[in-house]
Structure 1
């Protein structure tokens, strides 16, 4: 049977807030859908919302992850200084603006794991074999995180991280309501088989989705 493979290269921001809302922002530099950003929101009551910039993106994402509500709206993301700065440089900021959400995150230093991940070539990070090998380790080291698993429509998904940087502060408003201060991503977000790390972070990642 012929399989189809999609590869997405970019970064994922995962943060929790004192209101109980958890937010996952995906910024994809390259993908079969072009470059785009989307936001996954889980409210304190468990209601899951997708903010997607187009119907095409929404259809693909909802075919892979689970949501209770989808909103089609522009998603603008700005990474000050063009991305993660050197560990001895000034703090970088990561901001998101949509009609529903505004978010500004302050990025801290690269973690020890981030330094280790930077040594992995992207072509290796994109390999499902590497994700299969690292999955048992990720489950233990990063609560809620898995690097492989089953997605919607019979798809299999593999995550290959290539960098990890902490988030030290966040401000956000959803539908005009202040979401409070930064907290761990706890409980883990429930959009798919894996959550972002419990400690708020920006992860550079290569995501491979295989449909058989």
Structure 2
């Protein structure tokens, strides 16, 4: 079986030590939804999922210390994302397309999204983007492939998690421990097609 999730992922670090990865999925077997993975400065990994169905799927693929079912809303503009849930308030400002984004846009979408291409690019991603993988094994015997098609910088953030201020934008370090692949250390938004097969 093979499922595809089309959307964008924002990954940011903060001066409070909290690291946040937001997935905004416009097309998936679970419908359109947004979810958030948070790792606190103390290393506690939290999933914020909009439904039990989404939580079950994501939790079976990645690793968390706790899961919260709460409405996750993402509003986007050409230069910003606004994320809201019961636990999280996050505003991010987007910058220009990165040099990586320019390269990604040169690859035709049907090639960039294919698992075969992700297998090839994985060798490069391991070296160029430390901690990032474009293919790997996930929970339940699943294999996962990340086909990136665009990449933009994040230049600022503000917000809070569990009522505590996030502080200012920082690199995503240490790398979050959610699963086989991490978000790049440089805060960014990546347009992706994620293929999960088993």
**Is the TM value for this pair above 0.5?**
yes
CA contact (8 A) 1:161 1:206 kept: yes
Task: Spell out, residue by residue over 1:159-206, the C-alpha distance to the aligned partner (whole angstroms, 9 max, x if none).
Answer: 010000000000120111101110000111110101111000000001
TM-score, L = length of structure 2: 0.98
Task: Tell me the distance in 2 between the aligned counterparts of 1:10 and 1:203.
Answer: 9
User: Could you tell me which of 132, 148, 151 is aligned with 2:119?
Assistant: 132
Measured after TM superposition, the shift of residue 123 of structure 1 is: 2.1
2:34 corresponds to: 37
1:87 corresponds to: none
CA contact (8 A) 1:73 1:98 kept: yes
User: Could you tell me which of 2, 5, 10 is aligned with 2:2?
Assistant: 5
Task: Tell me the distance in 2 between the aligned counterparts of 1:14 and 1:184.
Answer: 9
Task: Spell out, residue by residue over 1:134-183, the C-alpha distance to the aligned partner (whole angstroms, 9 max, x if none).
Answer: 11110111111110111000001000100000000001201111011100
Q: Aligned to 1:94, what secondary structure does the other structure show? A: strand
In the alignment, does 2:175 pair up with 1:188? Answer: yes
2:89 corresponds to: 102
Extract structure 1 runs of 4+ deviating beyond 4 A. none
Where in structure 1 are there 5+ consecutive unaligned residues?
82-91
2:100 corresponds to: 113
Where in structure 2 are there 5+ consecutive unaligned residues?
none
Task: Spell out, residue by residue over 1:110-139, the C-alpha distance to the aligned partner (whole angstroms, 9 max, x if none).
Answer: 011101111223322221111110111101
Task: Spell out, residue by residue over 1:88-128, the C-alpha distance to the aligned partner (whole angstroms, 9 max, x if none).
Answer: xxxx1111000110000000000111011112233222211
Task: Tell me the distance in 1 between the aligned counterparts of 2:25 and 2:153.
Answer: 19
Alpha carbon RMSD of aligned pairs, Å? 0.8
Task: Tell me the distance in 2 between the aligned counterparts of 1:122 and 1:73.
Answer: 33
Task: Tell me the distance in 1 between the aligned counterparts of 2:161 and 2:186.
Answer: 21
User: Could you tell me which of 140, 143, 146 is aligned with 2:130?
Assistant: 143
